[in-house]
């Protein structure tokens, strides 16, 4: 039994879980919110960690695993955190200014709280370290790109690794022999083409803004739109806020929560219905591209909040693609369940699966692996 303390530190919160990396048993967990805010849960991240330590009581971890959003091109595997690694994480925070500084605050606070146990960084980008240059290169000046670290990195890698391994077990096949297209659909959303357990294409880019329509992010957009809005008087901060915080489903409907959008659409709201059409169109666009990139697929997998719970989204993504080998079981897909399941017809050449993700367990397992290898 190896007990791991998993930390997901945000700018104003610390989500945490204490679990066994082997069995997956969760002993305790929680969240410290509104850190640094007036009347909030903690004065700073160090204070938040002290509160968590008090809550843990006599339970102490053997390893601490940290979710870190961006590892740049340098960190492509779980990495034991040293002072030198911490310094490098600070340097590459420019690649993810909304996420990495908060992740780093959590690391510093946790290392101070648990100074005698190893700490490991698990990077959302690491799984995509197998992307070929043709897949990660943007067609801009090469020296400029090299100087500023501009390339596709991809995200949600911890989820993709976990889900791909679970999908292989469900199918009773070796992951090395499978071609999978995995849709991680939550408030943030992306899709990944996985060949033999390796990421070969993914929709998010240098940042988590590229790709699918999301809760509040635009996803793919013509860069010329930014120039147009800039000439109209919108500054960089305004553009950043618009595309990251006020776009996606929120921009199209006034709400970024898929549950609300779906309810409105079901009630006949034309704006919500039009937004879902845009959302589905983007999903199908990427599905077609990744079927070509892989030369076919063994399974299409849905995970995360929307992917696991919204039957309409799953159906709309693959509907009418029987000639491509995708045949849904409408009854199985519509069934409200929270477990792993097959929602395609028994005779469908390409299987469609629902696999609930478990990023905390994956972080725990990779953290243990990093300190024992």
Is residue 60 in some structural domain?
Answer: yes
191, 103: one domain: no
Average pLDDT of the segment spanning 357-361: 96
19 in a structural domain: yes
Sheet bearing 119-123, strands edge to edge = 26-32, 14-20, 3-9, 63-68, 119-123, 79-80
Residue 201 sits in the same domain as residue 304: yes
pLDDT digits (tens, 9 = 90+) for 76-110: 999 999 999 999 999 998 888 878 998 999 999 99
What pLDDT score was predicted for residue 354?
Answer: 98
Q: Are residues 113 and 177 part of one domain?
A: no
Are residue 87 and residue 17 in the same domain, yes or no?
yes
For residue 168, tell me if it sits in a domain.
Answer: no
Residue 157's pLDDT is 97
Same domain for 215 and 301, yes or no, is: yes
Q: What is residue 13's predicted lDDT score, i.e. its pLDDT?
A: 85
Find the mean pLDDT for residues 311-322.
Answer: 98
- Claim to verify: residue 191 and residue 258 sit in the same structural domain: yes
Q: Per-residue pLDDT for 69 more than 70?
A: yes
The reported pLDDT for the residue numbered 33 is 85
Judgement on whether residues 100 and 184 belong to the same structural domain of the protein = no
Residue 348: CATH number of its domain:
3.30.420.40
Active site residues: 124
Three-state secondary structure readout of the chain: CCEEEEEEECCCCEEEEEEECCCCCEEEEEEECCECCCCCCECCHHHHHHHHHHHHCCCCCCEEEEEECCCCCCCCCCEECCHHHHHHHHHHHHHCCCCHHHHHHHHHHHHHHCCCCCEEEEECCHHHHHCCHHHHCCCCCHHHHHHHCCCCCCCCHHHHHHHHHHHHHHHCCCHHHCEEEEEEECCCEEEEEEECCEEEEECCCCCCCCCCCCCCCCCCCCCHHHHHHHHCCCCHHHHHHHHHHCCHHHHHHCCCCHHHHHHHHHCCCHHHHHHHHHHHHHHHHHHHHHHHHHCCCCEEEEEHHHHHHCHHHHHHHHCCCHHHCECECHHHHHCCCCCCEECECCCCCEEEEECCCCHHHHHHHHHHHHHHC
Task: Say what the pLDDT of residue 178 is.
Answer: 98
Average pLDDT, the chain: 95
Q: Of the candidates 123, 141, 163, which is a domain's last residue?
A: 123
Q: Is residue 310 part of a domain?
A: yes
Q: What average pLDDT does the segment 126-137 reach?
A: 98
**201 and 338 inside one domain:** yes
Looking at the predicted structure, is the pLDDT value of residue 57 above 90? no
Domain assignment of residue 232, yes or no: yes
Rounded mean pLDDT, 336-365: 96
Q: How confident is the model at residue 59 (pLDDT cuts 50, 70, 90)?
A: confident
pLDDT tens-digit readout, 140-172: 999 999 999 999 999 999 999 999 999 999 999
Q: State mean pLDDT over 117-143.
A: 97
Q: Structural domain tally of the chain? A: 2
Query: Model confidence over 258-274: pLDDT tens digits?
Result: 999 999 999 999 999 99
- Whether 46 is in a domain gets the answer yes
335 and 196 in a single domain? The answer is yes
The mean-pLDDT minimum among 58-67, 128-137, 259-268, 349-358 falls in 58-67
Residue 1 has pLDDT above 70, yes or no: no
- Residue 121 pLDDT exceeds 90: yes
What's the pTM value of the predicted model, to 2 decimals?
0.94
At 6-16, the pLDDT tens digits run 999 887 888 99
Which residue segment(s) compose the domain that 28 sits in?
Answer: 3-123
Q: Is residue 119 located within the same domain as residue 178?
A: no
The answer to whether position 298 is within a domain reads yes
Flag whether 366 is in a domain.
no
In this structure, the answer to whether residues 189 and 308 fall within a common structural domain is yes
Which of 97-106, 128-137, 187-196 has the least mean pLDDT?
A: 97-106
Within 13 Å, how many C-alpha atoms sit on residue 33's CB side?
2
Same domain, 118 and 202: no
């Amino acid at each position: 039994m190896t007990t791991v303390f998993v930390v997901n530190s945000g700018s104003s919160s610390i989500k945490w879980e204490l679990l066994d990396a082997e069995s997956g048993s969760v002993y305790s967990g929680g969240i410290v919110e509104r850190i640094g805010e007036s009347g909030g849960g903690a004065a700073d991240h160090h204070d938040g960690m002290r509160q968590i330590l008090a809550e843990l009581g006599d339970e102490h971890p053997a390893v601490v695993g940290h979710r870190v959003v961006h590892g740049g091109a340098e960190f492509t595997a779980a990495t034991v955190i040293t002072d030198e690694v911490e310094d490098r994480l600070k340097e590459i925070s420019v690649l993810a200014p909304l996420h990495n500084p908060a992740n780093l605050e959590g690391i510093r606070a946790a290392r101070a709280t648990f100074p005698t146990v190893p700490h490991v960084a698990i990077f959302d980008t690491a799984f995509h370290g197998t992307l070929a240059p043709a897949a990660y290169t943007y067609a801009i000046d090469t020296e400029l790109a090299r100087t500023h670290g501009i390339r596709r990195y991809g995200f949600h890698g911890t989820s993709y690794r976990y889900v791909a391994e679970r999908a292989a077990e469900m199918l009773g096949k070796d992951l090395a022999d499978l071609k999978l297209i995995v849709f991680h659909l939550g408030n943030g959303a992306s899709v990944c083409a996985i060949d033999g357990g390796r990421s070969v294409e993914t929709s998010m880019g240098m940042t988590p803004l590229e790709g699918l329509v999301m809760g509040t992010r635009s996803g793919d957009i013509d860069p010329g739109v930014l120039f147009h809005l800039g000439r109209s008087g919108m500054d960089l901060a305004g553009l950043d806020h618009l595309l990251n915080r006020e776009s996606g489903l929120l921009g199209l409907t006034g709400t970024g929560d898929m549950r609300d959008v779906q309810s409105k659409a079901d009630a006949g709201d034309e704006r919500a219905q039009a937004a879902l059409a845009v959302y589905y169109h983007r999903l199908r666009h990427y599905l077609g591209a990744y079927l070509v990139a892989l030369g076919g697929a063994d399974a299409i997998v849905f995970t995360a909040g929307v992917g696991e719970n919204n039957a309409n989204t799953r159906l709309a993504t693959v509907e009418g693609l029987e000639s491509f080998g995708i045949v849904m079981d409408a009854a199985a897909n519509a069934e409200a369940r929270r477990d792993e399941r097959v929602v395609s017809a028994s005779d469908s050449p390409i299987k469609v699966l629902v696999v609930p993700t478990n990023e905390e367990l994956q972080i725990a397992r990779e953290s243990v692996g990093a300190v024992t290898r």
